[in-house]
Structure 1
Amino acid sequence: MPARTITPFDTDWRFVQQDAPGAEQVTFNEAGWKAVVVPHDWSIAGPYDRTNPPGRGGGYLPGGIGWYRKQFTLPASEAKRQVWVEFDGVMANSEVWLNGHKLGQRPYGYSSFAYDLTPYLVSGKANVLAVRADNSVQPASRYYTGAGIYRHVRLVSTAPTHFTYGGVFVSTPQATAAQAKVQVQAEVQNQSAAAGTYTLETTLLAPNGKPVGTIRSNQAVAAGQTVTFTQTLPVAKPQRWSPTQPVLYQATTRVLAGKTVLDEYTTPFGIREAKFVAATGFWLNGENLKIKGVCLHHDAGALGAAVPLRAWERRLELLKQVGVNGIRTAHNPMDPEFLDLCDRMGFVVMDETFDTWTAAKNHAEKGYNLHFKDWWQADTRDLVRRDRNHPSIVLYSVGNEIRDDLNSPAGFQRYKEQQDLVHQTDPTRPVTMALFRPSQSKVYENGFVETMDVVGQNYREAELVAAHEAKPARKVIGTENGHELPAWLLLRDKPYMAGQFLWTGFDYLGEGNWPEIANGQGLFDRTGGWRPVAYQRQSWWGAQPVVRLVRKAENAGAGEWVANWTPTDFDTYDDAKVQVYSNCDEVELFLNGKSLGAKPKPADDSPRAWDVTFAKGTLRAVARNKGKEVATDELKTAGPPARIVLSTDRPQLAHDWDDVAYITARVVDANGVVCPNTDQQLTFSASGPGAVVAVDNGNIASHEPYQAQARQVYQGQCIALVKANAPSGKITLSAAASGLTSGTLTLEAAPARTK
């Protein structure tokens, strides 16, 4: 058998959405409990209610207590091995038992953790793993958290001598174009009854899978002891990781007793050199790189907090189109598989721990502030040990807009202790925090920011610029920023500004005032629909020629910016304020084929504006570089709704929990133009080996259920999320509405992908 066996532990759970005293006991009667597969977020099922205890922060969705139980029988081959269970995240205040024995508890729902099952396992009989998740103490967060075992679970077994959980650390202390040094630090734990001398063997594989080199070292490990092995391997002319070339090596590390392999662990990693320089900002592999980032919360709209990997992949693909190269995990640890995606797709990451320390925040008075003093060390250490092998991570943050008094010895100490712990656990990366109104907390005057590796500040960009220029030795980065032009110009024009993280990349649940149930400041709405601010940002950050048309929704410049040429009231709309976002030398605007003039690119990157007397038809923008047409965009006036058109982000759908297809349904007129003002309800149906698992739209005030087959159209469209329930066959999806020609499309089900 393999030295290390990893068994997915996501299926065959039983769940009840209530407290169930005694449910940790083997003999507990779980009749009536629901069969579920984890990851599982029960809160997203709703319903929305203004009186739900999580309130504004939790998006007015329910909280409470949920229990999970899973029965399993250990194979005979595992009887004399070390066995533990790994949870990527349980929301929240989790308690875990095996066969009635309590293994531990974790208040922080974002932490990944593991428990040793070995002492309580029984061989040849059913074992019962029980989990209680309690987020009934509310309000606990300023944004939606979800509820339950909302990330993956796995069972791991090895020989009694093995690597510790999170104990293999691969770094690249030297990473020049000519030569790299790869350092492997591996904690080996001997849980056998006798001391032994063990061999650590590490083999590096290049991105093409070919071996780069192997190194072996020996060390004695006493019974019950943990010893750290350290090895260094050279790599000549390495392929270095970057956002434009996100290549990954692998380190396969083995523990051997003689010739017997006791444990084996493979670590993907990237060879890269990252640093922050006070005068010139961020450098990666010797190149000065502006971090053009966004903040992301951990939910995905209709899916809640239990997010299939494909949903994150789709979101990152959209952000890439805008020109985004950086992600801030706001304001908590993300799913570890999300970081794997950032590694593979090429994003630099600011990895954040907490939204609060000891001081409470509005709408989250009963949150992590109640647990910080007892748990910050374990949660910080576990985050860093889990994440430190990801080349995407270039900066840790230990707090967001912390309300603790930073103009006091206690505030200084609290930050320093966290920064020191991060450095002890991972000495290769700097630490920051997202400062809140530093002029009030006096951190620029009292010496606090001089203790920070990198000074991070939310908003008030001119204040951060002044802080650096007052003391040019300060390394600075915008940790949270708005979409406005002046903020972008400070990043563009100030060489010492390492980067910015926009608030936010996507809309997220919570932090909305009823009837709003979501925050609408994203470049994209929660379905992936483009907002005008995304078009504008693409004109600033995108590498390809960009031209995008928007207009004010109401007459004479009133209302929001919209990307359509169909007013809500044709009788009162005649003065259209039009803007064009473009990075091209010249843009010419046409209305029904007649030129309204051409305008050059402003030096300050502001949009080009026209006052247009509205007429039905086609508004068209033509962008040119050096006189050559390189991009166009057009808006057409829609007629009456006529039919539904379906499109998909992927024609093939794997039979895998982590795969999901986004089906966009658009209501169009007889000519195929989207009708932005219709609000009809569409009903979806699926046949074949697939099912609609959720529906959604971009309306931040919609209270419709997500786990349904019907959804109201918003701005002309809505979405259905489809999963495969078999490894082959054709899935046919249809959408229908009264008075409209139905839309259909076909997906192909495929076997689960190898992970």
Structure 2
Amino acid sequence: MKTIILIIAFVCSVVLHGYAQGRIEIPYNSGWEFKMSKESKEVVLSEKKAWTKINIPHDYSMELDFYAPVEESEHPENIGDLGLMLGSRSTAYLPSGIGWYKKSIELPDDYKNKKVQILFDGVYRMSDVWINNKYLGHHNNGYTAFYYDLTPYLKEGDNTIVVKTKNELKSRWYSGSGIYRDVKLLVTDKTHIPIWGRYVTTPQVSQEQAEVLIETTLKNEKFSDVEVTLIHRVVDSNGKEVAQVKVVQEIKKGREITSESSLTVSDPKLWSLESPNLYELVTDVFSDGKLIDNFSSQLGIRSLEFSVEKGFLLNGKFTKLKGACIHHANGLLGSESYVRSEERKILALKEMGCNAIRCAHNPPSKTFLDLCDKYGMLIINEAFDEWKRTKTGGGYSVYFEEWWEKDLTAMLLRDRNHPSIIMWSIGNEIPEQGYPEEGPEIARMLAAHVKTLDVTRPTTLAVQPGTTEMWANRFPPEAFFDAVDISGYNYEEFSIKKGGGFVENHVEFPDRIMYHSESRVPKFYDNWQKINSLNYVLGDFIWTGIDYLGEVGCGYDRKDQSKFPTYFAMCGDLDICLNRKPRSFYRNIVWSNVDDVYMQVRQPKGTGYDTPHKWAFTPGLHSWEWNLPEGKMMTVDVFSAADEIELFLNGKSIGKKKPLEKIASFEAPYLAGELKAVSYKNGKKSGENFLKTPGASKVLVIKAEREKIKADISEVIYVNFEIIGENGTRNILSDREVTFQIDGPATIAAIGTADPSAPIGYRFHGTKCKTFQGRGQLVLRSNGKAGVIKINAKAKGLKIKPVRVIAE
């Protein structure tokens, strides 16, 4: 039987800033300028058209207007002097094109004898970079990190960096455009640890001790041989050093070596979902008694075991993967990646019961992975959505042969020290899976390359059920699955018809470890009952955990939401503002089998909601306010794992029911007042949930998610606002325009709602929006200065109390 046992210590990179005389890491996000132009670099830099001052992260597609499609097409067309590309259904009808960035910087004199590099965590897409008019290189992929050495081209005084990006809108979902992740300058000695130059594993882990192996790459770019001393130290969360090892190495001039060291951590605090304990691993490099480089990062110690018999064990504990697939973007911010925007996603998914995320279908930001390490979230990190055969008529497949090894290497080297990552995925629904003469060979090639860079995790891929011609109308052959360690099945209820059922495949291939890499909401209960009973199926990943821009209407509630002006997918358990939909509460109840009780009232029949998409949940709202005549019969779904549910309307019992598949459905007349669901376990009351008619709208309540933020341009604060009725609950039928005024050291980074219809007439970077179902969201960005941020608004007929946030 197949068993995969991996015992690892992981480090996530967090470099010390200016520690002693060693490495210096400089955030390089502020003070950029931007413009769009289809002209050459020489023309762009010389033309009189003004540049706009911006800070990174920056997604310029979110600054452009929606374009209604002339016809439904996946292929964009060029328009206008800017060379815009018109977005399609896949890319949320938002345009893109060619964007130019520039930034000047004067480096201190003491950097003259140093090595200076620039690191981009993500630029979408097809970027070209220059320093002082010297071409540094091209990077095609929009999701993998890359860096350039600036040292040979730096001069005294101002140095100008220019970046060109080009997004041809060949994605199957909204990707964003521009420099949308962090940029950093790294300043080191000529003898140094290269970027991503340390790799940590632990071959032995127990409750008593953990052996830590450290592979450190050292590069000597000096004109003479150098002897260095490496000191590796492990420090616990209280600042106490718990292990140390010293190694002396000689490095010949112009050479690169790998130094191997080991140390032992006694009584280790293991990294887990419940207690994601992290140490700090510090590496100091000395030469002639002087510190010349240093590297510090978080260290997580934990073990993984995958087997047919036991399933997935984390630190020896059986763990079923309660997963969600998510894309990389951040709602109203587009693809812009901030610590707070990434953090909100992780915390919201944990709140609804998730313990694992499948990054669909590309590597996420480094910030996202750092936070998964911090909060205890498991990750499947995925490299590709296409190999050689295309899905989009000219996406990554065009560049696959030239770029696959570079991109896969970048993903592995940047991310292999994160404790949160448990699998490497080499592809999603790859068309080659249906072609035995192509697919297995490429899969073996990719999986083998992964193993050259990291032997501590299994490889995987996610297969399409084989239901269309793109996948040759057949389920993948055995050789395709054999290329990887663990097999991901998308939509097993469809693949089973093509010979791809979990139970049936286990009989035929008893060594195959499987998991449900994508699943539909309507089949969630049945899927989970099956998966939860089979150890050889590791878990389930829903499509999707969070709604996303693009792939318009693939989970619509009404059929007319399948095209413009709808601009996002509508298939998330959380909407694009991270508000929980009723189905997220249902999912957690099924996953956790808890006695919680939660209600949704179904959309009335005959109003267009009778035939939702096959990826959609039964349409309904957590509300007892409807624009309907009194007495109209409504269906109320009550979610609970309790034995029995009783529903009350204005204090009168409507009846009791036993939940079927954790749902008890009642018919109730619509009457203003209070709807209450009570759950019973073993004959005793175990929970209750209320819905109240809000009454006339009285106030707009503004709530900032944090009272204080750092005075830093990378800081954002989310501000949610709701229209509240006289009975103290949100009024979903009283939408109106809200205009904000911001005073103090912050600007509006985004404003909008979770309305699936494109906000025509409003701008994501504007000052106003119209509420949707009584609420909306404002995102503010610090301008880097300390002070009081005053948030005020006006909305017709509503009282409003201003809110203050301190930037310090």
Match of 1:713 among 771, 776, 779: 771
Mapped contact 1:554–1:567 kept (Cα < 8 A): no
Match of 1:199 among 201, 221, 229: 229
SS at match of 2:447: helix
Matched, 1:92 2:125: yes
1:99-118 CA distance string (max 9 Å, x none): 11111110101110111111
Query: Which residue is 2:10 aligned to?
Result: none
State the Cα distance separating 1:584 from its structure 2 match.
3.1
Gap change, CA 1:614 and 1:271, over 3 Å in 2: same
Match of 2:628 among 540, 550, 569: 569
Amino acid at match of 2:590: W
Residues of 2 paired with 1:64 and 1:321: CA distance?
38
Matched, 1:736 2:769: no
Mapped contact 1:733–1:744 kept (Cα < 8 A): no
Residues of 2 paired with 1:207 and 1:477: CA distance?
35
Mapped contact 1:724–1:749 kept (Cα < 8 A): no
SS at match of 1:409: coil
CA root-mean-square deviation: 2.1
Gap change, CA 1:83 and 1:247, over 3 Å in 2: same
Match of 1:431 among 455, 459, 464: 459
1:46-91 CA distance string (max 9 Å, x none): 2111245231221111111111111111211010111111111111
Q: Which runs of 5+ in 2 are unaligned?
A: 1-19, 70-84, 553-562, 611-618
Query: Which residue is 2:154 aligned to?
Result: 121
Gap change, CA 1:242 and 1:349, over 3 Å in 2: same
Residues of 1 paired with 2:711 and 2:415: CA distance?
28
Gap change, CA 1:370 and 1:583, over 3 Å in 2: same
Amino acid at match of 2:166: D
Gap change, CA 1:631 and 1:651, over 3 Å in 2: farther
Amino acid at match of 1:12: G
Residues of 1 paired with 2:31 and 2:271: CA distance?
39
State the Cα distance separating 1:728 from its structure 2 match.
4.0
Mapping of 1:140-289 within 5 angstroms?
140-289=170-319
Query: Which residue is 2:60 aligned to?
Result: 42
Residues of 2 paired with 1:11 and 1:722: CA distance?
16
Amino acid at match of 1:174: Q
Match of 2:362 among 332, 342, 347: 332
Residues of 1 paired with 2:533 and 2:200: CA distance?
36
Mapped contact 1:322–1:542 kept (Cα < 8 A): no
Mapping of 1:407-446 within 5 angstroms?
407-438=435-466, 445-446=477-478
Match of 1:366 among 382, 394, 402: 394
Query: Which residue is 1:507 aligned to?
Result: 547
Residues of 2 paired with 1:708 and 1:132: CA distance?
26
1:504-559 CA distance string (max 9 Å, x none): 11110111132211111001110112112111112123486421001211049965
SS at match of 1:166: coil
Gap change, CA 1:726 and 1:110, over 3 Å in 2: closer
Query: Which residue is 2:36 aligned to?
Result: 17
Percent identity between the aligned chains?
32
Residues of 2 paired with 1:318 and 1:301: CA distance?
13
Matched, 1:480 2:480: no
1:540-596 CA distance string (max 9 Å, x none): 23486421001211049965221111222225x622111111133443221111123
Larger displacement relative to structure 2 (105-114 or 400-409): 400-409
Larger displacement relative to structure 2 (495-504 or 437-446): 437-446
1:333-391 CA distance string (max 9 Å, x none): 11100000000011000001111111111xx3221111111000000001000001100
Mapping of 1:686-697 within 5 angstroms?
686-697=742-753
Mapped contact 2:67–2:87 kept (Cα < 8 A): no
SS at match of 2:405: helix
SS at match of 1:263: strand
Matched, 1:448 2:475: no
Mapped contact 1:15–1:66 kept (Cα < 8 A): yes
Q: How many residues align?
A: 741
Residues of 2 paired with 1:221 and 1:406: CA distance?
50
Residues of 2 paired with 1:162 and 1:68: CA distance?
30
Match of 1:521 among 557, 571, 575: 571
TM-score by length of 2: 0.88
SS at match of 1:399: strand
Larger displacement relative to structure 2 (546-555 or 90-99): 546-555
Query: Which residue is 2:702 aligned to?
Result: 646
Match of 2:722 among 639, 645, 666: 666
Mapped contact 2:436–2:480 kept (Cα < 8 A): no
1:151-198 CA distance string (max 9 Å, x none): 111111111111111111112222222221111111111111112232
Amino acid at match of 2:526: P
Query: Which residue is 1:397 aligned to?
Result: 425
Mapped contact 1:453–1:475 kept (Cα < 8 A): yes
Mapped contact 2:732–2:772 kept (Cα < 8 A): yes
SS at match of 1:342: helix
Q: Which runs of 5+ in 1 are unaligned?
A: none
Residues of 2 paired with 1:632 and 1:424: CA distance?
55
Residues of 1 paired with 2:390 and 2:166: CA distance?
20
SS at match of 2:372: helix
Match of 1:467 among 505, 511, 515: 505
TM-score by length of 1: 0.94
Residues of 1 paired with 2:509 and 2:21: CA distance?
57
